Amino acid sequence: MPEEFEAAPEQYFSEQPRARSERTERRFLYRGELLTFVVDTGIFSSHGLDPGTALLIENLSLRPTDRVLDLGCGWGPVGVAAAKSASDGHVVLTDVNRRATRLARENLARNRVKNAEVRSGSLFAPVANESFDVIVTNPPFHAGRALVLRILTEASDHLVPDGRVVLVGKGSQGIRFYQAWLEANWPGPVSVLGRGSGYRVLEARRTSSAPPPSPPAGHRAGRRRFAGRSR
């Protein structure tokens, strides 16, 4: 798995994607409600709902009052579903890709979501000093292992006691490695919420008595190299 991505073609975690805009509409059912979205090129899952994100939404269990962070929201499917589920809570959707955040705001409005907001910025910068009951993410595995471990490490600092981080990945993206790393380093229990089509949805719960994980080897290097999106 590469540790850097600068030499690669433009990625969906670019702040200002150069790909020509080609907007299309997509729909899917969530708990009996038909949700409608506009998707576009230059963002993650630009052709519609990818299998990993679909599995993540299917296995995301929220309380009505939860405060949720959708880290690397893309065009907003997870954030919209989370807002529908946590109907008396609040959802913050973040992404460094400004085309994605514009779409996410539009898609919140399309689906009449009032208890959510979208913020632009890299990783946890848009939510500095804020804590959540649940952080949900489909990490940018192609950006490198150091960056994904940085996300998992810093997530602990943005969870309330007994808060949870929920993430999805597939075998070819190294999800078993990240599961093992969480089991060895995370300050609380780790479980598999769902499996399908080679993907796993992991949940890591932060217990109030456990110390936060130490920054992994290469953490500082990952911080210097990456200024982009977290999905």
Cα 159 to Cα 92, 131, 182, 214: the distances in Å are: 13, 5, 15, 16
Cα 48 to Cα 60, 125, 166, 218, 226: the distances in Å are: 19, 27, 21, 34, 26
Q: What is the pLDDT of residue 19?
A: 65
Over residues 169-184, the mean pLDDT reads 96
Rg over alpha carbons for the chain, rounded to the nearest Å, is: 16
Least confident of 1-5, 103-107, 150-154: 1-5
Q: Confidence band (pLDDT; 50, 70, 90) for 225? A: very low
Dist. CA 70–CA 46, nearest whole Å: 17
Q: Confidence band (pLDDT; 50, 70, 90) for 170? A: very high
The pairing of beta strand 199-205 with beta strand 132-137:
unpaired
Which residue matches tokens 């217990």? 207
* Fold assignment, 50-225: Rossmann fold (3.40.50)
Q: What is the pLDDT of residue 228?
A: 36
Q: Where are the domains of the chain?
A: 50-225
Q: What is the pLDDT of residue 218?
A: 54
Query: What six digits make up the tokens of 11?
Result: 């990625």
In terms of pTM, does the model score above 0.95? Answer: no
Q: What is the pLDDT of residue 214?
A: 77
Backbone phi and psi for residue 28, each to the nearest 5 degrees, phi listed first? -155, 155
In this predicted structure, the answer to whether residue 63 has a pLDDT above a threshold of 90 is yes
Q: What is the pLDDT of residue 2?
A: 32
